[in-house]
Amino acid sequence: MRDFSNDHSALAINSATVKSLNLQQLVDGCARAGITAIAPWRDLVQAVGIPQAGKMIRDAGLKVTSLVRAGLFTASDAGGRRAAIDDNRRALDEAVGIGAANLLLIAGGLPPGSKDIVGARHQVRDGLATLLPYARQANMPLAMEPLHPMTAADRGCVTTLGNANDLCDELGEGLGVAIDVYHVWWDPTLPREIARAGKRILGYHVCDWLVPTTDLLLDRGMMGDGIIDLKSIRKMVEDAGYNAPVDVEIFSAGNWWKRDPDEVLRICAERFRNVV
């Protein structure tokens, strides 16, 4: 395993962890904290325009792990699914423009009124198949992030790493996976599926699962404050060949979003050295 104990050059900050910052503030805050990689959300880079965002990031010498996020392929009708593909193509252009290593995708949930999760998963597969030629041409890998089953209805009908690996097997080059401990820690097949993913692991995201959890989306914990065996999962991911930066991704409306962003970044770096 990599030694993070006196080095956090492998630490990347997902911009949602310090949600109150705009892109320039995020870039400056990372510089103050000695953090060298980011995973910005699209609204942040769109707010300043892609060329300017790319320049800001390059001038600061920051790496971009992923542009977050696109996907959301499911819709009630063909027009809605076409609109999703168009938006994904724009996201790919944005990812290229800011020099991201990949574009992060989530599947999308059930279309409104639908009870057909099998159909929703087919829509995701078909959406990926439609998008992949454009992604390959742009030389921009797609990183599908399986989401915890609690989000299957409204955000992510690809719910396990096994589901995501099946999609990679079926669709081939240009598609990989992003593994977020919050979504997969509970899965008894995790060791097997991480090994199976192998070199297709394009991203690794950390935070922690609090007990009790008070909100299904916005109550993620800081690494070390919950029950996820972070070191064991990182070992599996690194044994599978992953050696890119690790994204800290904490949606925390009740706690971390209320704190001073400089303090949050400092604590992220400290926990990264000690508990990730």
Residue 102: CB minimum distance to Zn ion, A: 13
Does the footprint of Zn ion cover residue 205 (CB under 5 A)? yes
Residue nearest to Zn ion (CB): 180
The count of residues interacting with Zn ion (CB under 5 A) is: 3
Residue 145: CB minimum distance to Zn ion, A: 5
Does the footprint of Zn ion cover residue 94 (CB under 5 A)? no
Q: What is the CA radius of gyration of the chain?
A: 18
Dihedral Cα 50, 90, 88, 190, nearest 10 deg = -20
Query: In the complex with Zn ion, which residue's Cβ is closer, 180 or 187?
Result: 180
Query: In the complex with Zn ion, which residue's Cβ is closer, 12 or 56?
Result: 12
Residue 5: CB minimum distance to Zn ion, A: 24
CA distance 58 to 69: 20
Query: In the complex with Zn ion, which residue's Cβ is closer, 208 or 249?
Result: 249
Cα–Cα distance list, 239 to 3, 64, 78, 261, 275 (Å): 14, 23, 42, 33, 18
- Candidate list 187, 193, 208, 249; residue touching Zn ion; CB under 5 A: 249
Per CB under 5 A, contacts with Zn ion among 22-61 are none
Query: In the complex with Zn ion, which residue's Cβ is closer, 146 or 174?
Result: 146
Is 219 exposed, middle or buried (CB count within 10 Å of its CB: 0-12, 13-18, 19+)? middle
Site pattern 134..173 for Zn ion (x: CB under 5 A) = ----------------------------------------
Across the strands, what pairs with 70? 105
Does the footprint of Zn ion cover residue 180 (CB under 5 A)? yes
Does the footprint of Zn ion cover residue 193 (CB under 5 A)? no
Query: In the complex with Zn ion, which residue's Cβ is closer, 26 or 56?
Result: 26
- Count of other CB atoms within 10 angstroms of residue 202: 24
CA distance 177 to 179: 6
Stretch that binds Zn ion, among 22-30, 31-39, 202-210, 255-263 (CB under 5 A): 202-210
Instruction: Give the SS3 label for residue 110.
Output: coil
Token readout for 108 is: 């999308």
CA distance 74 to 173: 22
Which residues lie near Zn ion (CB under 5 A)? 180, 205, 249
